Structure 1
């Protein structure tokens, strides 16, 4: 029995030795290293390293729900409007020997209806006396590549905020008459220390949002803007310090104008310019986060830099009615072929005050005046010689915004607008037509509007 037991134990030991030797001959497998996402703190909160690279990435966005009611100008028009907007931001940055390499893009999708349709920046407060407001604003979807640029050291290239802009509708739910445009540009920025910098930028206003180059008009014959020889040239000098910021900016634009009529047939180059100065003052002595903006601008042959587009007044236009639009042009040509530029100026003020860290108020407004030169009233009043309308406009707005948690805003805003014209115009009726005085029409020289908006917005 002892002999059998010894044989069994010896056999088991032998098998174990052989098995161990065979196992030692097999190739070993090591677990692949795990690439964890690392936080990148070099550029602020929310950035992380793209695995396997030294590039820091931040993905964010916004969702906005908005509802508005306002002054109704005709029975065919809705007295309310709704809007939903989604925004995606992608920001990638890499530290290099030449400075930070940054790429950024922002894409938006918006669905609007009612009073938002056809308005300037969705702002039904901007009005024009006698303007036709006709037709319900059905739902419409708009897509917008708002920003898409590369920054490498001092170079900025792509679609970016104009370097002319300072207060670019930073506060509020509505728009003011101020320079605020994203467009295609190529810019060089030099920094001098202590927060001082200077920028020279070539900017294509034809790709801008809101303030494109305005047209040209002639009381006789046909006037048109032909091709440009070069994009707008913008220069700015800026300082950013603990007390706030200040900027002085200027722009030069060139237009080739053709003019054809019974007394003339010629084309010529015309130059326009704009200049703007602004200051932003931090007011921590009132409350943390309090800010005051003050800004003034002047333009000659470049009214887009004041925030004036090719027409003023909001609402749906009735194109079937001749002379229905009240137009804004940068240049006018007389019956003798003489060219005269339109000029204008504007002032802007905006104030933000925090009542508590979660409750704030924004009060802002603008006032502007235009002198339109040879641009006559778009529709004549019987018995009255047409003159330039030369509008004067005041916009005032205020809101109260509650932020119960970080990134969430719930607010209510009221906006008031008043516009005055140099010459009375025929008022449009509910159908959008402008009946003459003999047919029961009436004249209007000034008008005002009141609107309110409720907004819920989440930024992340």
Structure 2
């Protein structure tokens, strides 16, 4: 028999091969820097376009503004203002009307501002703080105007809420404002508005494309008498102004935006009040008040809805009517919201009559190419003044402020070398360079009889060249 099998003894394991750990590749300094920068950028990117987030907070901050340089001059008279109001241009025959035009160079309309946005349980909290340098000159004599313009607060407000409903509190553009006509001049276009004031505003989305707004805004009575134009902060013979305020102004607006363009309907109601007691106007004359109101409609139509060949061209229109609108049309009726008999013989009482006014604007914006565009626009305004203004002293401050009709026209050519066309909508980019012709005319109530030696009308023609660099 075969011998029994015996299990073979276990063989000793072979020695393990040594483990070789490869050294990590040397870091690429350029890649390290790129990754680090991307991480930092992501960490600091804000919720607003072109904004950054404050480290350790949820607040996004954006800096914006522009540098604007204007070269301008009147062709036929002397007018040093860089933002002339058509209602106050020099009259033919006045001292300024007898002088030749001169030119001026200024960058005081440059602007800087900050936007912020912070998420809250009630929706985003947005704030804005904005300044320009179009404030008063520090020297009343005008002796030192080089770099002498003071900063001026334009807007300072907070707004909270979402797309459906928002509440704003602070100084902001009035609900009455609109800026349909693109101009280079900083003068407010006739029948437009550039009022900024303290307010509380409510904004709600009523339907797709339709927004409703209501605001209570700061009151500021303005009126004209034989002694001139008065506001609450004016003085009369070194004393207080008869113009006073009692209740805020009430404004409302409906705005629709869509493929056809934009349309807006707005209205306002305001109280106008004067108090003669304690003033040099008529001590013991008592007080008087009246109601001012107005309605306006404006719109812009995208011409490419008629024919694609029109490109980004727009047709612009606006019309209004009201009584006592006054300073809300700061180029035509500021100071002429109402007239008073104060200072006239046999009329010591503090009477106040709201002034009916109406007007319109028509314009067209044409794109010669995406980088080159022009706007041509014309506006007309009329005031139906009370009969007693004929008693104002001929050539006096009251009579020479009582305009009956006003006109303004503008034609410009603006080059934006970095403009981009995005499906019929043009983004102008960061640089505009342009030239502009502006025409102003005003005719006094009563004509030369009211103006005296200064004549009964004022006509000004102006040329302006501007460069605007945005950031």
Give the structure-2-normalised TM-score.
0.69
Question: Which residue number in structure 1 is paired with residue 156 of structure 2?
Answer: 148
**Retained in 2: the 8 A contact 1:214–1:309?**
no
CA contact (8 A) 1:161 1:181 kept: yes
1:448 and 2:471 are equivalent in the alignment: no
Work out whether residues 202 and 214 of structure 2, in 8 Å CA contact, stay in contact via their aligned partners in 1: yes
TM-aligned CA deviation for residue 227 of structure 1:
3.1
Encode CA deviations 1:188-218: one digit per residue, 9 max, x unaligned. 1121231212111011144xxxxxx422426
Alignment of 1:324-403 (within 5 A): 328=336, 330-333=338-341, 335-336=346-347, 337=349, 338-373=351-386, 374-376=388-390, 379-380=393-394, 389-403=402-416
> Aligned pair in 2 of structure 1 residues 418, 269: CA closer, same or farther (>3 Å)?
closer
Aligned to 2:55: 51
Residues 381 and 407 (structure 1), Cα distance of their counterparts in 2 relative to 1, 3 Å cut = closer
| Alpha-carbon shift at residue 308 of structure 1 (Å) | 4.2
The 3 A distance-change label for structure 1 pair 88 and 390 is: closer
Distance in 2, matches of 1:136 and 1:445, equals: 32
Q: Which residue of 2 aligns with 1:166?
A: 178
Aligned to 2:32: none
The answer as to whether partners of 2:66 and 2:111 remain within 8 angstroms in 1 is yes
Counterpart of 2:64?
Answer: 60
For 2:59 and 2:282, locate their aligned partners in 1 and report how far apart those are by CA, in whole Å.
Answer: 64
Seen in structure 2, the aligned counterparts of structure 1 residues 78 and 191 have a Cα distance that, compared at 3 Å, is same
- On the 8 A contact 1:402/1:410 being kept in 2, the answer is yes
Matched residues in 2 for 1:377 and 1:105: separation? Answer: 46
Closer, same or farther in 2 for the Cα pair 1:425/1:112, shift >3 Å? same
In structure 1, distance between residues paired with 2:465 and 2:408: 18
Relative to 1, partners in 2 of residues 1:60 and 1:262: Cα closer, same or farther, differing over 3 Å? closer
d(CA) in 1 for partners of 2:114 and 2:193? 25
Please tell me whether the aligned partners of residues 247 and 278 of structure 1 are also in contact (alpha carbons under 8 angstroms): yes
Q: Provide the rounded CA distance (Å) in 2 between the counterparts of 1:158 and 1:263.
A: 36
- Report the Cα distance in structure 2 between the residues aligned to 1:357 and 1:308, rounded to whole angstroms: 31
CA RMSD of aligned residues (A): 3.7
Give yes or no for contact 1:306–1:345 (8 Å, CA) kept in 2.
no
CA change 1:215–1:262 in 2 (3 A) is closer
Question: Structure 2: where are the runs of 5+ without partners?
Answer: 1-35, 79-95, 228-235, 419-428
User: Among 288, 292, 313, which residue is 1:268 paired with?
Assistant: 288
**CA deviation after TM superposition for structure 1 residue 57, in Å:** 2.2
Question: How is 1:54-133 mapped onto 2 (pairs within 5 angstroms)?
Answer: 54-70=58-74, 71-73=76-78, 74=96, 79-85=102-108, 86-110=110-134
Q: Please state if 1:407 is matched with 2:430.
A: yes
**Aligned-pair distance for 1:225?**
3.5
Of the candidates 176, 183, 203, which is equivalent to residue 189 of structure 2? 176
Q: 1:146 to 1:381 in 2, by over 3 A?
A: closer
1:230/1:168 CA distance change after superposition, 3 Å: farther
Shift of 1:266: 2.6
Taking the aligned partners of 2:267 and 2:449, their CA distance within structure 1 comes to 38
SS in 1 for 2:189: coil
CA distance in 1, matches of 2:136, 2:284: 46
Is 1:228 the equivalent of 2:265?
Answer: no
Name the counterpart of 1:25. none
Q: CA 1:240–1:269 in 2, change beyond 3 Å: closer, same or farther?
A: same
- The answer to whether the 8 A contact 2:292-2:323 is kept is yes
- Paired with 1:189 and 1:233, the residues of 2 have a C-alpha distance of 14
Q: Shift in Å at residue 63 of structure 1? A: 0.5
CA contact (8 A) 2:324 2:336 kept: no
1:421 paired to 2:444: yes
Instruction: Give the C-alpha shift of residue 109 in structure 1.
Output: 1.9
> Quick one: distance in 2 between partners of 1:69 and 1:263?
45
Q: Which deviates more, 164-173 or 411-420?
A: 164-173
Name the residue aligned to 1:125: none
| TM-score for the superposition, normalised by structure 1 | 0.70
Aligned length: 373
Equivalent residue number for residue 213 of structure 2: 199
Unaligned runs of 5+ in 1: 1-32, 119-134, 207-212, 312-326, 429-433, 435-441
Matches of 1:399 and 1:387 in 2, distance apart?
A: 31
SS of equivalent residue, structure 1 residue 36? helix
**1:188 aligned residue:** 202
